Amino acid sequence: MSGKSTIEDISRDWTETERVILSRRSVRNFKQEQVPEFMVRRVLEAGRFAPSAGNCQPWRFVVLRDRQLIDELTETVVRRCRIIRAMVDYRRPRFQWLRPLANLLIRLKPNDLHPVPFGAISLIGQGRLGLYHGAPTVIMIFKDRRGISNPDLDCGIAGQNMALAAHSMGLGTCWVGFTKLAFLYASRWKERLGVRYPYRFASSLAVGWPVGRPDGMVPRQTHPVDWYENGTQITIT
């Protein structure tokens, strides 16, 4: 923040940084035009300067800017989604009998098969939902699993730094966790990208120029916050 803003200025209006945070949307419709290389480097710098447990910096970034490579990766993930959909999507007519198996898998992998990703896997498998949405650049974040405390969290912090830096330049980003399906069950992509111990896929970000003007402040659910002060407790929302 510039040293000039007074507390009164701040109370009157959002800061530049808050605007970037509050207007950031996950962009799912990118122009084909490539992002300038210097911008991607700057985005990576924002990731490099993220806080991490004990300053352990447990991340390794991989930038994909080859259309063909991104397409092939997409194809792998779509294929995996198609297989998972065939196994678990009991919502399809005449597939009710899959429900016991689906419920067992949901129980085993509740975070991956929550109703939302369950629906998304099905849509991706059917080709009705894109993965990188035409983004010309994909930044993959791999975690050093020997990291202090919780390396996934540190990778998330670094990633969000990058998403916000990108947004501040007018770029759009979208977190794409489904990329992990390319690294599970088969080693082809690990070999292709040279992913070895101690690195493991954490998440990925699609980066590109958005189509239209997707940024804006929209309503979002509020959440209760417990507030302790002066020996009393209140809950605000």
| Burial (0-12, 13-18, 19+ Cβ within 10 Å), 89 | middle
Q: Which is nearer to other proteins, 48 or 99 (CB)?
A: 99
Residue 29 or 168 having the CB closest to other proteins: 29
- Which of 109, 114, 188, 192 touches other proteins by CB under 8 A? 114
Mutual angle of helices 115-125 and 67-88, in 10-degree steps: 120
Strands 232-236 and 172-175 come out as unpaired
Report the candidate in 171, 164, 217, 181 with the shortest Cα–Cα distance to residue 77: 181
Upper half-sphere CA count for residue 200 (Cβ side, 13 Å): 8
Rounded Cα–Cα distance for residues 82 and 128 (Å): 11
Does position 164 bind other proteins by CB under 8 A?
Answer: no
Site string (59-98) toward other proteins, x via CB under 8 A: -------------------------------xx-------
Pick 193 or 206: Cβ nearer other proteins? 206
Measured from the CB atom, the residue of 47 and 130 that comes closer to other proteins is 130
Q: Return residues touching other proteins (CB under 8 A).
A: 11, 13-14, 22, 25-29, 90-91, 103, 106-107, 110, 114-116, 118-120, 123, 128-129, 211-224, 226, 237
